[in-house]
Structure 1
Amino acid sequence: MKIAVLGLNHGFTLAQQAKKMTGITLAAVAGNNASAKERAKELDVPLYADYKKLIDDCSLDGVIITLPNHLHKEAVKYCADKGLHCLVEKPIADTTVAAQEMIDYCREKQVQLLVGHHRRYSAKINHLKHLLDSKVIGDLIGVNMIWALAKDHDYYKEAWRVKAGGGPLLINGIHDLDNLLYVTGLKIESVYAVGKNKIRSAEVEDTVTAILEAKDGTVIHYFLTDGVPSPWSYEFNLKENPIYHSYEEDCYYFFGTKGSLAFPSFRCYQYSEEAYGWKHPLIERRYLPEDTVDPIAAELAHFEEVLKGRIGPRVPGEAGLRTLEVLEAIKLSIREKRSVALQEVISK
């Protein structure tokens, strides 16, 4: 299967993995800065400054799109016009309206649309989902999620990251929200959030706290910031990407009627039936997963199977849209300083 990668920030990681695979040929990449030139040289593939020319010139089976969020719709439509299946990096788009257009367009053109929520392929995430589905901690009552770290100063030199369509909610928070929806199966009904730009004074938020309410009564607290030194985040705690330092900490906590579970340590705290309640000691167990999986490698292996027509997308456009709806409700709540019902942002 011949593919191309459009965008060489996160796309570089995907391109590197594609080069290792026997069933995929990386035909070309697109990028238009000095870093892209260096990375294309390292990959030993042609570099196009204009991704549309790449699509026009190359014979391809599929395309991986890792361009800035606001360019996803245009790129997906251009590829779909050529009959090319697309793996588009999360978030699926910068707005739910654009996401729905992409889904409808790909359906019309009869091409597959996958969303790059690669953490759904993580062995640890899937083990977490299994434990929650198995009611190890009983009925879910609440969730506490933290994503707090400090990115390098140079990261913000790319203007789109500090303007509308960028920001840590869309770039990073979308991962945590998708993890939440995937492992719990919750249907979020309403959101109240506060966002601030106290750290950088940019157009977009650098700190957010959000309260989410699910249809079944479960409540979720989510805190996010990309400008404070901290060891509590998925990247730092899961050890799935070697470019990050790792810390033996937890970033998610799940509270149920029969116990509480920390992630990714999988420490579970419960009482026995004979000694239940705060006057008794908690019993600690660990429900560690047996397997480890490189989520990026697993995602690309899945994309290969989709390109060959053997299976449908594991994370279709509709799944990416559901996650984006929650995020858009958070952003609307921040702007209007009020509680927002998900129904207000759901695309019809």
Structure 2
Amino acid sequence: MRIAVLGLNHGYTFAQQAKKMEGITLVAVAGNNASARERVKELDIPLFEDYKELIDTCLLDGVIITLPNHLHKEAVTYCADKGLHCLVEKPIADTTDAAREMIAYAREKQVKLMVGHHRRFSAKINHLKHLLESGVIGDLVGVNMMWVLAKDKDYYKEAWRVKAGGGPLLINGIHDLDNLLYATNLNIESAYATSRNKIRGLEIEDTVTAILEADDGTVIQYFLTDGVPSPWSYEFNVRENPVYHYYEEDCYYFFGTKGSLAFPSFRCYQYSEGEYGWKHALVEQHFPPAATVDPIAAELQHFVNVLKEEEEPRVPGEAGLRTLEILEAINLSIQEKRRVTLRESKGGNPEKN
């Protein structure tokens, strides 16, 4: 399968994987900054500054789109017009309206649209999903999630990162929200959230607290910040990317009627059979996953299988839209300082409440 990668920030990881994999040829990449020009030397393939020229010039089966979020719709539309299947990096788009238009256009043009929520390919996330669905902790009552670390001080020197959508909620928080939806199958009904910029004083947020309510009564508390030294975040705890230091800590906690489960240690606390209540000692068990995989490599292999028409996208556009709807509800709640309810109708917009 012949593919191209548009954008060489996160796209660089895809490009490196594609160069190593059998059954796939990386034809060209698109990028227009000094970093892209440097990275293409190692990739040893053509670089196009204009991604549209690349699409017009090269013979391709599919395209991986890792351009800035506001360009996703334009790029998917351009590729769909050429009959090219797309893997578009998360979030699917910068707004839910754009996401819906992308999904409809891809369907009209009969091309596959897959969203790059690569953690759905993580062995640990899939093991978590299996444990929760098995009922090991009973009916889910609540979830506590944290994403707390300190980004490099130079990170926010890029202009787009200090504008709306450039903060940690959309860039990083959307991963945690998608993990939540995928692992629990919860249908989120409402969000109440607040954000602050106390740490850096920039226009965009550096701290967010959100309370989410599901239609089955489950309540989720989520705290996110990228300006606090801390070992409690997905990147630091799952050991899936060697770029990040590893800390043997947990970042998610799941509370059920029969027990509680921590992730990614998979420590589970329950009472012994026949015992219940605070006067009894809890029993600790471990349910570690059997294996680990590189989720980016697994995602890319799946995309190749999609191009070969051997599989349907595991993360279709509709899944990416659902995650973005929740994030959009959180943002609206922050702006309006009120609880926001998501409409039950398919494709509905958040309603103020």
TM range (shorter): over 0.9
Distance 1:122 1:90, change over 3 A: same
Q: Distance in 2 between matches of 1:228 and 1:150?
A: 5
What corresponds to 2:351 in structure 1? none
Report the secondary structure of 1:129's partner residue: helix
Corresponding letter in the other structure for 2:104: D
Give the gaps of 5 or more residues in structure 1.
Answer: none
Select between 253-262 and 163-172 the one with higher mean Cα deviation: 163-172
What corresponds to 2:336 in structure 1? 336
Q: Distance in 2 between matches of 1:178 and 1:345?
A: 20
Corresponding letter in the other structure for 1:33: N
For the 8 Å contact 1:77–1:102, the answer to whether it is kept is yes
What corresponds to 1:66 in structure 2? 66
Q: Distance in 1 between matches of 2:71 and 2:168?
A: 17
Q: Distance in 1 between matches of 2:344 and 2:310?
A: 37
Aligned: 1:307 with 2:307: yes
Deviation at 1:344, TM superposition (A): 8.9
Distance 1:217 1:76, change over 3 A: same
For the 8 Å contact 1:96–1:346, the answer to whether it is kept is no
Normalising to structure 2: TM-score of the pair? 0.97
What corresponds to 1:253 in structure 2? 253
Deviation at 1:80, TM superposition (A): 0.7
Deviation at 1:146, TM superposition (A): 0.2
Q: Distance in 2 between matches of 1:39 and 1:346?
A: 42
Q: Distance in 2 between matches of 1:267 and 1:4?
A: 42
Report the secondary structure of 2:94's partner residue: coil
Q: Encode CA deviations 1:32-62: one digit per residue, 9 max, x unaligned.
A: 1111111111111111111111111111111
Q: Encode CA deviations 1:90-112: one digit per residue, 9 max, x unaligned.
A: 00001100000000010011100
Normalising to structure 1: TM-score of the pair? 0.98
Distance 1:344 1:184, change over 3 A: closer
What corresponds to 2:110 in structure 1? 110
Q: Distance in 1 between matches of 2:58 and 2:154?
A: 33
Deviation at 1:346, TM superposition (A): 6.6
Within a 5 Å distance, the mapping from 1:159-178 to structure 2 comes to 159-178=159-178
Q: Distance in 2 between matches of 1:39 and 1:344?
A: 45
What corresponds to 2:295 in structure 1? 295
Q: Encode CA deviations 1:64-86: one digit per residue, 9 max, x unaligned.
A: 01111111111111111111100
Deviation at 1:201, TM superposition (A): 2.2
Within a 5 Å distance, the mapping from 1:134-145 to structure 2 comes to 134-145=134-145
Q: How many percent of aligned residue pairs carry the same amino acid?
A: 80
For the 8 Å contact 1:190–1:212, the answer to whether it is kept is yes
Give the gaps of 5 or more residues in structure 2.
Answer: 349-353
What corresponds to 2:242 in structure 1? 242
Runs of 4+ displaced beyond 3 Å? none
Deviation at 1:214, TM superposition (A): 0.2
Deviation at 1:311, TM superposition (A): 1.3
Q: Distance in 2 between matches of 1:70 and 1:204?
A: 17
What corresponds to 2:53 in structure 1? 53
What corresponds to 2:21 in structure 1? 21
What corresponds to 1:84 in structure 2? 84
Q: Encode CA deviations 1:136-172: one digit per residue, 9 max, x unaligned.
A: 0000000000001111122212221221232111111
Q: Distance in 2 between matches of 1:107 and 1:227?
A: 41
Q: Distance in 1 between matches of 2:87 and 2:224?
A: 26
Q: Encode CA deviations 1:232-289: one digit per residue, 9 max, x unaligned.
A: 0000000000100010000000000000000000000001133321111110000011
What corresponds to 2:281 in structure 1? 281
What corresponds to 1:233 in structure 2? 233
Report the secondary structure of 1:277's partner residue: coil
